[in-house]
Amino acid sequence: MPIKASAKKELRKAKRRHAVNLTRKDAMKASLKSIKKLLLTGQKDKAKELLSAAYQAIDKAAKRGVIKKNAAARKKSRLMKMLNK
């Protein structure tokens, strides 16, 4: 456990950031999962409607450092590849 006041404050900040990062990551995963599920059931038009929301979630996660920039690009590329199949 931290002793100094500044270290305690950093621990509180880290916990808040961790919670926000988890929320952002979960939102990204949920949007990807919903699109994949729609594609497996053959509802391509509904999947295309959700594509912009998924891109937004991926970009926000990359912008905040939850995932890396190239990981975001890879996810978007694979998502589009699945849609075009």
Is the CB of residue 61 less than 8 Å from the CB of residue 72?
Answer: yes
Domain containing 73 equals: 5-84
Global pTM?
Answer: 0.85
Residue 23: give its domain's CATH number: 1.20.58.110
Number of domains making up the chain: 1
Per-residue pLDDT of the chain (85 residues; tens, 9 = 90+): 899 999 999 999 999 999 999 999 999 999 999 999 999 999 999 999 999 999 999 999 999 999 999 999 999 999 999 999 8
Q: How far is it, in rounded angstroms, from Cα 68 to Cα 75?
A: 11
Q: How many CB atoms lie within 10 A of CB 38?
A: 18
